[in-house]
Structures are given as C-alpha cells and as structure tokens.
C-alpha cells in the first residue's frame, strides 16, 4: 500500500488529495496542495502528524488565508486547516475569553461585546482567524494581540506535546512573534475590560466605519503587502512617494484606495503578484533607500 492509500484509509474524508488552494486564500490564487487535512479534533491532528512524520511529509498550517499567497505550483506535503471543530469560544473569568484557533477574529470581537468585555473591538476589523492573528501579532487602531493576549495552548509538531505558553514567554514585535514554525496554536486566552455594551458597540462600529473609508473592500487581496517602517513612514507612503501606485503585472494591480493593498483583479497568477511585489520593492529601495519587508506570507513551490 502506498502513502496515499494508507492515509486515505486512516483519515477518510478529512484528508483530500490535490486540493486547489485558491479558495483558501483571500487573493483567490494558488496551485494545489498535495494533501489537505481538516482534523476533527486534537487527537486526530496528533495521529496525522505521527503518520506524516513517519513518511517525512511536510506540513503547513493555515488559518483563514487572509495573509497568505500560495504560489502557482502549489504546496508540497499537507496543508492543515483547523476547521469548525476548533472554534469553541467561552468565558473563563469576568473579563477573560478563550477562543479556538480557527475562530474568526470578528466572532471573538462580537462575543466580547455580547459579554460586555471591552478592548477587543479591534478584532472586528481583521478578517483572519485567532491562530493567524497571534502569529502575526495582528492589530489596528492602537491595539494588537500582544496587548490583550494572556496565553496560548499549542501542539508542538516536533515532539507532539501539548502545552500552554504564557504571553510573557513570547516576544512580540510589529506584525510578528518569536513563535517558531514548529507549533500549531490550538486556542488562545484574551483579557479584556468589563465595560458597558453600548460603549463597546459604538467603538466597534466606529472602527468598522473607519476601515471602510480607508481600505478597499470586496476585492481579492491579503491586506497590507509590506510592513510599515514606523508611524511616520508607512509602506503606502513610500510606495506612493516612489511613484509605484499605478504599477501592475498581468492582472495583478495596486489598489487605488490604499496602495499597500495588492489586488488580483480576477485573472492574475500568483507569479504576477510576486513580480509586482518585487518591482515595487526594487523601486522603493532605489528611490528611498528603504528595503521594504513583506507582511504577507508567500508559501509554496
Ligand atoms: C482586507 C484585509 C484587511 C486586513 N487588515 C488588517 C489589519 O488591520 N491589521 C492586521 O494586523 N492585519 C490585517 N490583515 C491581514 C490579516 O487579516 C492578518 O494577518 C490575520 O491575522 C491573518 O490571519 P489568518 O488566519 O488569515 O492567517 P493565515 O493567512 O491563514 O496565516 C498567516 C500565518 O499564520 C500562521 N497560522 C495560522 N493559523 C495558525 C495556527 N493555528 N497555528 C500556527 N500558525 C498559524 C500561518 O502558518 C501563516 O504563517 C488584513 C487582511 C485583509 C485581507
């Protein structure tokens, strides 16, 4: 029996072969994953990782795909997506919420609001999942994950052990953390502040409104392509200053509303987005001396 057959027997419908990844990325682009695995629960996830290790199958963990560009030739090994079985959300103290890693950020914001817990309103503006938000230290409007996180529960892909990591043991920086690629986040605990629901509602809708005005919507994008340098030197400013805001490559273009948002206009290939990224990066470096760093993750062959 070859690997594919034995995997199919063990993991049934949770494991699929040759799955196109376009519908799992907000760019709506990318080739196929050799395997695509959606575990039922943590035990099945562990079982899968044991089998994957035996045959040296590479594994890549994916959240909501709102920060990920898959390359056209796809991803070797297995892409693991935690699904609805990892979306439990509960109150575990007056102002503490625990959410499964696959829970969408906006659901956590809404849950906090429904339970009169403030300070998580910013999550309503980030279109990813909790796992992705922690890894990216996502944030907006003066807040980010590092300011509200208490701890994460993880599964270590190397030793297959589960553990809890306290926020104090994680280094957070702008759009990143010290967390290594060998971990899979299973859930996260957040601490907010008890408050009045009307105030939370107002803050949340103000944030959503502000986002609508400053960022394009209903387009195929992964949000900010490059990291900002600092508050006064944002990536979009450098892109504009360097005259790149009208650049395009094939059907990949730059949003006219926010020039750090790169877009698939419908028929782009991942390579078009990557070529556009490189063209902008080189121009900005030549014109301003700044070497822009990617915020989005590029995965695949
Ligand atoms: C329209 C738009 C607006 C955006 N606005 C903002 C914004 O205001 N602020 C901001 O910070 N970001 C913003 N983003 C970017 C994006 O939404 C965030 O980076 C988000 O947190 C990514 O979450 P995700 O689940 O989609 O991650 P993915 O893109 O799926 O993955 C991102 C990274 O996290 C890792 N990962 C995901 N889940 C897990 C897990 N369970 N365990 C371990 N690793 C995991 C992946 O391997 C990958 O390295 C925006 C994106 C879009 C499309």
Task: Give the per-residue pLDDT at 83.
Answer: 87
| Gap from CA of 63 to ligand 1 centroid (Å) | 7
Task: Give the per-residue pLDDT at 186.
Answer: 98
Shortest-distance Cα residue to atom 12 of ligand 1: 138
Shortest-distance Cα residue to atom 27 of ligand 1: 132
Task: Give the per-residue pLDDT at 93.
Answer: 87
Q: Does residue 290 surpass a pLDDT of 70?
A: yes
Under the banding of pLDDT at 50, 70 and 90, the label for residue 181 is confident
pLDDT digits (tens, 9 = 90+) for 48-73: 999 999 999 999 999 999 999 999 99
Ligand 1 and 128: CB distance under 6 A? yes
Q: Does residue 156 surpass a pLDDT of 90?
A: yes
Q: What is the DSSP letter of 29?
A: -
Structure tokens at 58: 């590479």
Ligand 1 and 64: CB distance under 6 A? yes
Mean pLDDT of 166-184: 95
- Mean of pLDDT over the chain: 96
Ligand 1 and 74: CB distance under 6 A? no
pLDDT digits (tens, 9 = 90+) for 215-255: 988 999 999 999 999 989 999 999 999 999 999 999 999 99
The set of catalytic residues is 175, 224, 295
Three-class DSSP category at 256: coil
Q: Specify the ligand 1 atom closest to the Cα of 137.
A: 11
| Gap from CA of 67 to ligand 1 centroid (Å) | 5
Q: What is the DSSP letter of 130?
A: H
Q: Does residue 4 surpass a pLDDT of 80?
A: no
Q: What is the DSSP letter of 65?
A: S
Q: Does residue 1 surpass a pLDDT of 70?
A: no
Q: Does residue 265 surpass a pLDDT of 70?
A: yes
Of 293, 277, 283, the C-alpha closest to 230 is 293
Kindly provide the residue ranges of all beta strands, DSSP E only, lying in 178-260, ordered along the sequence.
183-191, 193-194, 220-224, 248-249, 252-254
What whole-number distance in Å separates Cα of residue 161 and Cα of residue 231? 40
Contact at 8 Å (CB) between 108 and 130? yes
pLDDT digits (tens, 9 = 90+) for 183-214: 999 999 999 999 999 999 999 999 999 999 99
Of 81, 82, 127, 80, the C-alpha closest to 108 is 127
Q: Specify the ligand 1 atom closest to the Cα of 60.
A: 47
Q: Does residue 5 surpass a pLDDT of 90?
A: no
**Residues paired with 177 in a beta bridge:** 172
Structure tokens at 69: 């560009």
What whole-number distance in Å separates Cα of residue 137 and Cα of residue 134? 5
Task: Give the per-residue pLDDT at 140.
Answer: 96
Query: Within 13 A of 89's CA, how many CA atoms are on the CB side?
Result: 19
pLDDT digits (tens, 9 = 90+) for 109-126: 999 999 999 999 999 999
* pTM for this model (two decimals): 0.97
Task: Give the per-residue pLDDT at 204.
Answer: 98
């Amino acid at each position: 029996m070859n690997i594919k057959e034995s995997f199919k027997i063990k993991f049934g419908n949770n494991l699929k072969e040759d799955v196109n990844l376009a519908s799992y990325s907000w760019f709506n682009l990318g080739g196929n994953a050799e395997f695509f695995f959606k575990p039922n629960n943590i035990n099945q996830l562990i079982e899968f990782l044991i089998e994957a290790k035996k045959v040296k199958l590479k594994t890549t963990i994916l959240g909501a795909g709102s920060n990920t560009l898959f390359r056209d030739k796809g991803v070797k090994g297995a892409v693991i997506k935690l699904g609805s079985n990892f979306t439990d959300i509960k109150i575990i103290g007056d102002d503490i919420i625990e959410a499964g890693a696959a829970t969408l950020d906006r659901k956590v914001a809404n849950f906090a609001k429904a339970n009169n817990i403030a300070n998580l309103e910013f999550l309503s503006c980030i279109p990813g999942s909790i796992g992705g938000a922690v890894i990216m230290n996502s944030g907006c409007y003066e807040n980010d994950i590092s300011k509200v996180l208490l701890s994460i529960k993880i599964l270590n892909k190397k030793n297959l052990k589960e553990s809890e990591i306290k926020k104090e043991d994680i280094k957070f920086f702008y759009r990143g953390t010290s967390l290594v690629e060998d971990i899979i986040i299973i859930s996260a605990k957040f601490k907010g502040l008890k408050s009045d629901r009307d105030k939370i509602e107002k803050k949340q809708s103000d944030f959503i409104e502000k986002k609508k005005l400053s960022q394009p919507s209903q387009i195929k994008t992964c949000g900010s392509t490059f990291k900002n340098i600092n508050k006064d030197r944002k990536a979009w400013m450098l892109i504009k200053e360097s005259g790149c805001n009208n650049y395009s490559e094939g059907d990949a273009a730059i949003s006219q509303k926010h020039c750090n948002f790169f877009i698939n206009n419908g028929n782009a290939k991942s390579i078009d987005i990557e070529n556009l990224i490189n063209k902008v990066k080189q121009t900005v470096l030549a014109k301003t001396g700044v070497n822009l760093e990617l915020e989005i993750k590029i995965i695949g062959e």
